[in-house]
Structure 1
Amino acid sequence: MGTDLEAAQADMRFGYYSGAPGIFASSAAWLAAAIVALQVSAKQAVWVLFAGGVVIHPVGVLLAKALGRPGRHEPGNPLAALAFATTLWLILSLPLAYGASILRLEWFFPAMLLVIGGRYLTFGSLFGMRVYWVLGLTLATAGYFLGSTGALPAVSAFVGAAIEAAFAVSVLALGRHEVRANNSFKPKPLRGSA
């Protein structure tokens, strides 16, 4: 059983470069929202983060392909259902963050940090990498701190961008290390796939 899970996780790591391209794309969405919050308005920045969130996966796939990975997992990977479930959970959590922003606009970005931090915790199982636990807890802690101190929306968005950029670099380095350690790493085929 453990080897099937490990093979599925290795397939996810290989296909999506351990998730680093997606973290970079998410960081860019946070950065765009931070700039809009600073230059235009916090209300517009909310919509920029929503719009940026819609393109995180396709941009992450393009970046993975640019880095020489397929940008997809093998058909039949049992972790695909977990990846889809976390995406649905994120979408269903968006009204909570938006509702918080109606009460106090400063709460939107901290609420999103909590939501996205929670999603990254599941990536620890999806990719088989403990670094996602650290990323998720770091984002959630930042969200709690920024929300409880009433930080300006631009500050909260910049913090989200910075945290994700730093972890994207770390995860990319871990992905490169795995490739070097396994000499042109390509995961073993999943049971039931050709």
Structure 2
Amino acid sequence: MEITNAQKDVRETFMGGFAGQLVSAVLWCVSAVACTWHSLRLGEWILILGGFLIFPLTQLVLRSMGRAYALPKGHPMNALGIQVAFTLPLTLPLVIGIGALHPAWFYPALMIVLGAHYLPFIFMYGMWQFGVLSATLIASGVAIAMYLPTPVSLGAWLTAVLLVAFAFVGRRVAFSDISAARNPPASATSV
């Protein structure tokens, strides 16, 4: 299988990341609400524990939409997907440690880690748009930590908004692929 075909399979199966981005956005939003109106600690726990449910919830959303929820067994991108899935949980001790030393940096640190987590998606999905999301999350995380540490929940709110926006960007890219496959352009030689 060619890489471009494998990437197209990922885009079409996961709708350009649409369902996963929406699930993540809801989680970040719930965390932001908890942080804003209850406590940072509750917001942290919601995001840390809820993060482990993102992939199963994404599969549930895809199933509820009547779509495939996983790549076929033996697909060449499955191994990369598993590796990418473990990068975020494995960096959580660093984020938790930073948050323990400097609580206002919890969300910015997680934004930076999340941005780095999205870098392999550029290759996996074959979508440069994930590079924009990655760079935006990383730059925003750094800027918030350095210049706007309050309100503490700002990073969570911004991340939720970015994830919703990029969910629809990814969906548009995936659907344009599907549309192009269904309606190939007429060749110049056909009459």
Instruction: Mark yes or no: TM-score above 0.5.
Output: yes
More divergent stretch after superposition (37-46 vs 77-86): 77-86
Instruction: Determine which structure has more spread, i.e. the larger CA radius of gyration.
Output: 2
Structure 1 residue 59, shift from structure 2 partner = 1.5
CA offset digits 1:88-120 (Å, max 9, x no partner): 221110011000001111111001100110111
Q: Is the 8 A contact 2:112 2:137 kept in 1?
A: yes
Percentage identity across paired residues of the two chains: 28
Structure 1 residue aligned with 2:188: none
Structure 1 residue 15, shift from structure 2 partner = 1.6
Q: Distance in 2 between matches of 1:184 and 1:61?
A: 28
Q: Distance in 2 between matches of 1:74 and 1:9?
A: 13
Structure 2-normalised TM-score?
A: 0.90
| Matched residue count | 183
Q: Of the candidates 63, 66, 72, which is equivalent to residue 64 of structure 2? A: 66
- The verdict on how the C-alpha distance between 1:24 and 1:117 changes in structure 2, with shifts beyond 3 A counting, is same
Q: Is the 8 A contact 1:34 1:153 kept in 2?
A: no
Q: Is the 8 A contact 1:11 1:74 kept in 2?
A: no
Structure 1 residue 124, shift from structure 2 partner = 0.6
Q: Distance in 2 between matches of 1:6 and 1:70?
A: 19
Runs (5+) with no aligned partner, structure 1: 186-194
Structure 1-normalised TM-score?
A: 0.89
Q: Distance in 2 between matches of 1:87 and 1:69?
A: 21
Give runs of ≥4 in structure 1 deviating > 6 Å.
none
Over the residues paired in the alignment, what is the CA RMSD in angstroms? 1.6
Task: Look up the equivalent residue of 2:167 and give its one-letter code.
Answer: A
Task: Look up the equivalent residue of 2:102 and give its one-letter code.
Answer: R
Q: Distance in 2 between matches of 1:123 and 1:151?
A: 31
Q: Distance in 2 between matches of 1:4 and 1:75?
A: 17
CA offset digits 1:152-188 (Å, max 9, x no partner): 2211110110111111111112112211111189xxx
